Amino acid sequence: MLPAAAVLWLLALGDVHLDGMGDLGLLQVLPVTFWAALALLVVGFCVAAADRRTPHACYAAYTLLLIAVVHATPPLLYSELRYAWAWKHVAVIDAMVRHNGEVPDAAGLGIYNQWPGFFQLNALLLRTAGLESALPYALWAQVLVNVLTLGPLLLIYRSLTADRRLIWGAVWIYYSCSWVGQDYFAPQAFTFLLYTAVLALILRQLPTSRSAKRGRSSSRAWPPGLFVLLLLLEAAIITSHQLSPLMLISALVLLSLPRANRRVVRPALTAAVALNLAWYATVARPYVTENLGEFVKAVTRPEANVWSGLNRLADAPPSQVMVSWIDRGLSGGVFLLAAVACVALRWTRRTPMPLLALSPLPIALVNAYGGEMVFRAYMFALPAAAFLIAALLIPALRRPSVRTPLVCVLLPAMLGGLVFGYYSKEAMNRFSPGEVAATRYVTTQTPPGSLIISVTFAAPGLEMRYDQHERNELTGESLAAKRLLARDPVAGLAPVLGRAGNKPAYILLSRAQNADVRLNGAMPSGFTQRLESALARSPEFTAVYRHADAVVYRFDPPSQGSFR
């Protein structure tokens, strides 16, 4: 089944017509052979897990092919880096290289000077390798991050059990349920990988670990070399991201609650807290000082923090409402199955997994994180929850029982929920060469100091050379301003264009921005087309770059009077 799935997947890649993507993204254009490949993967893995003789290499092959099918499909189909935030991070690295490690505080990007670890590491890589940009390897970041995460996951699960079916079942469930999509080229993906590595080191030192039970643990809780490695990993996490250190500290606090764990966990917890406080007091002090009031305010409204990321469906189209509920169902199902495992299987309560599954909850209650906290909490809880679910489901594959049909339904359902979360917004996440060329035109071929206006953030690389021009997104305007834009696009642009003063202004419109408006509802559906039609008719605007997927208009103000 494994080679058959691989062949079907490769055949499917040659039969994808990207121009047919609509409100459900890649889901609408992937051929039947792609879904057949996924189905064969699930069936083949279930057959492998039912046989106690299945070797580790076979499980590894199934897992790596699952990663390839899910995460390598977009970069193999697209010629350009997907997702606007990934382009932004490439631009920050470019700025650090051009400014010798410092990011000028333009367009609000100065915050990256306060958590620069990920960006400095990539800047060092560019200098060492002689590369001009991170774009060539950023395209494959999701594949690389998921493959690398496999190592720490195996170490975590192998510290708890010797049952290879349970170990690989947990790995399979993790990759089948990891729908949040925070594995793109970003500090979050980098620090989450390090977070799992820290957990792997700690769990293998705990008295409940298999190595400790076999008498392999040192008389000292931490061998010096291993503890130095732990400190380096914690330092890399703390210097690279705002949220991940807090998730790590919360996990270590809960792991330290059992008395038997304290000798191992307390040194790691003390080091993490001390390093994080030192960072807050020095490098990150400007951000902490500026946002301290918001932090305190967030602590007093835990219910708002939890629900802030779940109540944004009012303006979304029906397709995205459906996708949102599918992903919520998958997330809720994961936590429900993990809870059932804890209740039904007493031995799981003697492992650290229930504590780790609960560890993101305190952080989710005290900060909304821009409406994303509930999804980040799910991501950090998933490695532990996947093991608990595997303990509940995988044994049913070994001995046919009344649970076996349920397992055979749940595993494909998990993967189905994943692809809905991953592929349903590709209409706005994919960028064509024409869109990239249009963005490159406005960022490199326009006079320094020009104002660049876009409808949404869905444009590839508008932050490139951001220190040489001003940016404005129409969806970021006030509600009154957006209402005026919706009524009369050209008249609504007047206040925005006025911010350019005597400098040139350019408006970038593109296919991905139009899809963003349609999928997220920040502006009325069809606004981008109406705006383009209005600009084409107005004598104050001249099309200076045009492609089938993008157009750039220059504002040419009349010598007297106002907009006509």
- Residue 563's pLDDT is 42
| Whether 461 contacts 436, CB under 8 Å | yes
Task: Report pTM.
Answer: 0.93
Separation between Cα atoms, residue 410 and residue 433, nearest integer Å: 39
- Residue 364's pLDDT is 84
- Two structure tokens written together for 388: 């608990």
| Whether 500 contacts 446, CB under 8 Å | no
Separation between Cα atoms, residue 527 and residue 144, nearest integer Å: 38
Where are the chain's structural domains? 2-80+139-427, 85-138, 431-555
Q: Strand order in 470-473's β-sheet? A: 470-473, 451-454, 505-510, 550-555, 541-547
User: What's the average pLDDT block by block, 10 residues per block, for the chain (564 residues)?
Assistant: 96 93 93 96 92 93 97 95 94 90 74 92 93 93 97 97 95 96 94 98 88 55 91 97 95 95 95 96 90 72 55 72 90 95 94 96 77 86 97 85 80 93 93 95 92 94 86 90 91 91 92 92 88 93 94 80 42
| Whether 222 contacts 262, CB under 8 Å | no
- Residue 408's pLDDT is 84
Strands 550-555 and 505-510: antiparallel
- Longest alpha-carbon distance in the chain: 87
